[in-house]
Chain A
Amino acid sequence: MRWTLRILSYGVFLAMLFVLVSIVVSGLPYLFRPGFFTAWPKRAMSEGGIFPMLVGSLMLMGLVFAISIPVGLVGTIFLSELAPRRLSMLLQSLAATMNSVPSIVYGVFGLALFCVKLGFGTSLLSASLALSTMSIPFFMNSAVEFLRAVPKELREGVISLGASKFQSTLMVLRASRNGILTSLMLTLGRAFSETAPILVTGAVFYSTKLPDKLTDPVMTLPTSIYAIVMNLGERSQWMARGMASLMVLIMIFIYSVVQLTRRNKRE
């Protein structure tokens, strides 16, 4: 029993390690090409760099954060501090359900509502709204656990000293700041790596300029990887490999921060 499971586990472990390493290594050399981060792609993505995709992804992440962090945080506060227990449980299970909805559904929803009904078109704005619809429940679901973990005595203590609900909430937030940071990083990772919703609502394969209005379409890292792998030949593949390697490195960085905060809390 022990040895069968050990062999199985090492098999799975080595397979995962192989996937991680082969993706990172196969794209790593291209990250050091001159101009990889600062040049525009040229000749059907066979030369140049990934500047517009990188900036596009950053703009998208900025917008998603600007929308979903305030809403998510405020919603989380309601769930853990203010709502009656049953309502809070109900809302949380709704948020959990939304988490399990496949991401393409958010894309299709965003297309119907933001692109077509509201007339934003294929744009940075539609993509960030569609991604935010997905990220907000994700953030709430993760952050509410950390807020709930703050001991009750702390809240009661502050209230009995004459603090208002608002002040006691501030204190709970301060006490759970590590957890909130973890949730933030996980939300960032989720939004950054999601492709299907952006593909449908806001991304274009090639654009000659950076978006300068919210209603301009945008190029992003994940959708460009998809487009290159599916549509372009071998001469452009290096760029997709480079971007894939970059994305995995960024995700590893994000998860490392999460692991570090987790360890800090334990000690």
Chain B
Amino acid sequence: MMKKTISFLFVLLTSLAAVAVAAALFAIVFFIFSESIRAIREVGFGLFSPNWYPVWETEPEFGIGTMLLNSLILAVWTSVWVWILGLGVAIYLHRYASNRERELMLRILEYASGIPSVVLGLFGVLILGNLFLRLGAWSAQNFLNASIVLSILTLPFMVSLTFQSLEKVPRQLVEGAISLGAKDFAVIQVELKHAAPGIVNAMLSVFNRIFGETMIVLMVAGGANMLVGSFLDPVRPLTATLGSEIGEVAAGSLHYSVLFFIAFLVLSGCLILNVLTNRITRRLERWIKG
């Protein structure tokens, strides 16, 4: 009897902890959405207008259009670079690198992946920023600078995820292709096809991380609310506004609610991307099996 009660309590306690985590996700979505209802009701479609003057006393404007566009442009541009570079490095490490080379590179990349984002922000402002000024840019913090620092943040991640999925490709497959006379390039094609679910997963996670990253864009992007026209323009993505203004706004005001709407957008973007990733991965897995 005693033993049964104890084991029952044990199961109950552990299941509570696991369920609490699931509940937390729903609580997050619920809280952020419920705080942004006021903004949706009072500002409506004005939320997507280009002008952001939240503290103008007579007629404040809460348009996040420009910031949203800047965020997307920055995330897409940076992701494409990270994808290409990351894929290249991962293929090299997987196919050509000697054991010592691979070990050393992976270790340094792992250390680099541990650099806190705020420290990368400092690197962008103090070290890269000075370099930009010396090269004649009119603003030390700009689109290109933010893009470079964001690539430093996500490249190690992209390389290690892609490398892991390449390593999981069955050995026999590659050997079979080689014995049928496949050249280098064709072998890589076979491997890429079989690692595709993992690689797509890595690519979408990279995009997600860049889109949601706050500290780096807050420090390095420059903070001007205008549509990016050249690489050296200062820009302000969505998350930068969120990070810099949410701490200073009066709780319960319309401005506060609009900032929650921004958070809601970022969150739903991430959730949609997650669902999409799962779908695509599953479809790719089916495609590989034939």
Contact = CB atoms under 8 A, between A and B. Distances in A.
Contact of B115 (A23, A71, A98): A23
Contacts of B118: 193, 195, 222-223, 225-226, 244
Interface of B: 3, 6-7, 10-11, 13-15, 17-22, 24-25, 27-28, 31-32, 35, 85, 88-89, 91-93, 96-97, 105, 107-112, 114-123, 125-127, 152, 155-156, 159, 184-185, 188, 205, 208-209, 211-215, 218-219, 239, 242-243, 246-247, 251-252, 259-260, 263, 266-267, 270-271, 273-274, 278
B22 A20 contact: no
Cβ-closest 5 pairs across A and B: A102-B212, A193-B116, A78-B14, A251-B114, A75-B17
Contacts of A86: none
A16 B267 contact: no
Contacts of A105: 28, 32, 212, 263, 266-267, 270
B17 A74 contact: yes
28 contacts: A2-B92, A2-B184, A5-B92, A12-B89, A16-B152, A20-B108, A23-B123, A72-B17, A75-B21, A79-B18, A91-B18, A91-B22, A94-B21, A102-B212, A104-B263, A105-B263, A105-B266, A107-B243, A113-B31, A189-B114, A193-B117, A196-B243, A222-B118, A229-B126, A244-B118, A244-B119, A248-B114, A251-B115
B91 A20 contact: no
Interface of A: 1-2, 4-6, 8-9, 12-13, 15-17, 19-20, 22-23, 26, 71-72, 74-75, 77-79, 81-83, 91, 93-95, 97-98, 100-109, 111-113, 115-116, 133, 136-137, 140, 164-166, 189, 192-196, 199-200, 222-223, 225-226, 229-230, 237, 240-241, 244, 247-248, 251-252, 254-255, 259
Contacts, number: 245
